[in-house]
């Protein structure tokens, strides 16, 4: 006589669900293991890339040409600067992030060999090992070796605080002068950041900082006192934010005023207001609120036609052209680079004087990527509706697709 699952009180659907849960967990574990193996492989590939593109002794006197870079601590190999961006794009990183990744790999391989061996064996996660590598880069070789000896065996489970303790202990033992310099430098970690590069469409900006205690107490007293004089129907957090903004106001004849400078543009299908020195737009309604707010002076800059073809016979663009390019393109034209256009060079797509200094032949490029274009065999084309298509020295192509509006068609070259 046989017993069915139902007779035994077991629901076959429950058995199926349990089997499904088990299969998902098994597959997830296998996927995690495969990802960890691939992360190790890519780290090894990073060291291979540096070996294939060795640099010489770093020459800090070079200002604009390509340079060799020290990407890890003393005694580790350097790398040809032009090779960094090629690898970074291939693995989906920005140039800065790619340089850090290559540096971490070299630091581990050449200055932390015990930890490197455990990473390659899959015993320490890549992300954890990179934290150690980033902490030891500033150490002299003997101090890095001491950290490697002390942490390699327990790196898989030690905390970030323990990593920092061991690094500072090694620094004090092997480089006491540097330890004292860092102690003094730590006293100057005070900062106050206003993130104008990432304002929201509603006109909000993130602010953070670290202040001396006495300064923080004084600031808190000023904000609390000012907030108490504002509209009490508003939430306290809103009033405190407004009070902080009013700290930057200037004293007028009879009242405190603050000035906001904006650019107004009419775009197809909508209107927008661009706040000067930021890469953000706010709504016309928000601009209206500013205009109606007591103590706020709003200055509207002349409207710039972002599609106009401006030109000059000189190599250097005019100030109006620089403003147009900054408002039009917003950031460096290199894939993944988020440096604001206002802090970039105006780069000639077709080099001057063969190419004109004109709107259609100019794009913002930060100094690093400007050097790649000028000295390292990189090139790009601007394609309307697509963005900037960059071609590496090895012939690979990458698209920087942040462009929101196509520029005018390239103008005919000057005849001289």
User: Which is it for strands 357-358 and 296-301: parallel, antiparallel or unpaired?
Assistant: unpaired
Is 406 inside any structural domain? no
Place of tokens 């005070």: 190
Residue-level pLDDT, tens digit, the chain, 416 residues: 455 545 555 567 777 777 788 888 899 999 999 999 999 999 999 999 999 998 887 666 666 666 788 899 999 999 988 899 999 999 999 999 999 999 999 999 999 999 999 999 999 999 999 999 999 999 999 999 999 999 999 999 989 889 988 998 888 888 777 666 766 666 677 788 888 777 777 778 888 888 766 677 778 888 888 888 888 888 888 888 888 887 766 554 444 555 666 665 545 555 566 655 445 566 666 666 666 665 566 666 666 777 889 999 999 999 889 988 888 888 899 998 988 888 899 999 999 889 999 999 999 999 999 999 998 999 999 888 788 999 999 999 999 875 444 444 444 444 33
Q: Choose one of 279, 301, 323: the last residue of a domain.
A: 301
Is 168 inside any structural domain? yes
Is 13 inside any structural domain? no
Q: Which pLDDT belongs to residue 388?
A: 92
Is 376 inside any structural domain? yes
CA pair distance 109, 405, nearest whole angstrom: 46
Q: Which pLDDT belongs to residue 415?
A: 37
> Do 227 and 82 share a domain, yes or no?
no
> Do 153 and 32 share a domain, yes or no?
yes
> Do 210 and 326 share a domain, yes or no?
no
Closest CA to 264 of 248, 246, 247, 284: 284
> Do 295 and 315 share a domain, yes or no?
no
CA pair distance 327, 263, nearest whole angstrom: 9
> Do 226 and 112 share a domain, yes or no?
no
Is 32 inside any structural domain? yes
> Do 106 and 226 share a domain, yes or no?
no
Is 413 inside any structural domain? no
Q: Which pLDDT belongs to residue 42?
A: 97
Contact status, residue 334 vs residue 390, Cβ threshold 8 Å: yes
256 contact partners, CB below 8 Å, separation of at least 6: 246, 249, 250, 295
CA pair distance 277, 327, nearest whole angstrom: 9
Q: CA–CA distance from 172 to each of 12, 166, 242 (Å)?
A: 66, 10, 46
> Do 33 and 174 share a domain, yes or no?
yes
> Do 50 and 148 share a domain, yes or no?
yes
> Do 229 and 178 share a domain, yes or no?
no
102-138: pLDDT as tens digits: 999 999 999 999 999 999 999 999 999 999 999 999 9
What are φ and ψ of residue 351, in 5° steps? -55, 140
> Do 160 and 273 share a domain, yes or no?
no
Is 16 inside any structural domain? no
- Beta strands of 239-326 (E only): which ranges? 250-251, 256-267, 270-275, 281-282, 296-301, 311-312
> Do 175 and 50 share a domain, yes or no?
yes
Q: Which pLDDT belongs to residue 219?
A: 85
Contact status, residue 69 vs residue 99, Cβ threshold 8 Å: yes
> Do 127 and 234 share a domain, yes or no?
no
User: Which is it for strands 281-282 and 296-301: parallel, antiparallel or unpaired?
Assistant: unpaired
Is 53 inside any structural domain? yes
Q: Choose one of 155, 184, 213: the last residue of a domain.
A: 184
CA pair distance 244, 28, nearest whole angstrom: 49
Number of structural domains, the chain? 3
CA pair distance 177, 75, nearest whole angstrom: 20
Q: What is the domain range of residue 282?
A: 193-301
Contact status, residue 211 vs residue 190, Cβ threshold 8 Å: yes
């Amino acid at each position: 006589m046989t017993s069915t699952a139902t007779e035994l009180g077991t629901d076959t659907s429950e058995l199926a669900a349990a089997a499904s849960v088990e299969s998902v967990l098994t597959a997830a574990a296998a996927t995690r293991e495969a990802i960890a193996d691939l992360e190790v492989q890519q780290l090894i590939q990073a060291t291979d890339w540096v070996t294939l593109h060795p640099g010489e002794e770093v020459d800090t006197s070079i200002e604009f040409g390509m340079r060799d870079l020290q990407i890890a601590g003393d005694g580790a190999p350097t790398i040809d600067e032009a090779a960094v961006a090629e690898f970074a794009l291939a693995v989906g990183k920005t140039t800065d992030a790619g340089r850090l990744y290559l540096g971490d790999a070299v630091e581990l391989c050449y200055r932390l060999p015990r930890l490197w061996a455990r990473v390659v064996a899959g015993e320490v996660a890549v992300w954890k090992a990179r934290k150690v590598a980033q902490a030891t880069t500033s150490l002299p070789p003997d101090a890095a070796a001491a950290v490697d000896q002390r942490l390699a065996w327990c790196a898989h489970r030690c905390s970030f605080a323990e990593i920092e303790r061991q690094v500072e202990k090694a620094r004090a033992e092997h480089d006491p002068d540097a330890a004292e310099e860092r102690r003094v430098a730590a006293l100057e970690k005070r900062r106050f950041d206003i993130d104008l590069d990432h304002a929201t469409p509603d006109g909000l900006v993130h602010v953070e900082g670290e202040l001396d205690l006495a300064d923080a107490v004084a600031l808190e007293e000023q904000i609390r006192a000012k907030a108490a004089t504002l509209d009490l129907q508003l939430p306290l957090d809103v009033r405190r934010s407004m009070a902080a903004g009013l700290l930057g106001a200037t004293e007028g004849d009879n009242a405190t005023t603050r000035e906001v400078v904006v650019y107004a543009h009419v775009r197809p299908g909508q209107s927008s207001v661009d706040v000067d020195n930021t890469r953000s737009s706010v709504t016309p309604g928000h601009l209206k609120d500013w205009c109606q707010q007591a103590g706020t002076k709003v200055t509207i800059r002349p409207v710039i036609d972002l599609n106009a073809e401006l030109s000059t016979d000189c190599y250097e663009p005019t100030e109006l052209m620089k403003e147009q390019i900054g408002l039009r393109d917003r950031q460096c034209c290199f894939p993944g680079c988020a440096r604001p256009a206002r802090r970039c060079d105006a780069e000639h797509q077709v080099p001057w004087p063969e190419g004109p200094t004109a709107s259609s032949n100019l794009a913002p490029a930060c100094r690093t990527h400007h050097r790649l274009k000028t000295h390292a065999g990189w090139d790009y084309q601007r394609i309307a509706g697509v963005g900037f298509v960059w071609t590496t020295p090895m012939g690979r192509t990458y698209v920087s697709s942040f462009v929101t509006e196509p520029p005018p068609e390239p103008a005919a070259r000057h005849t001289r």
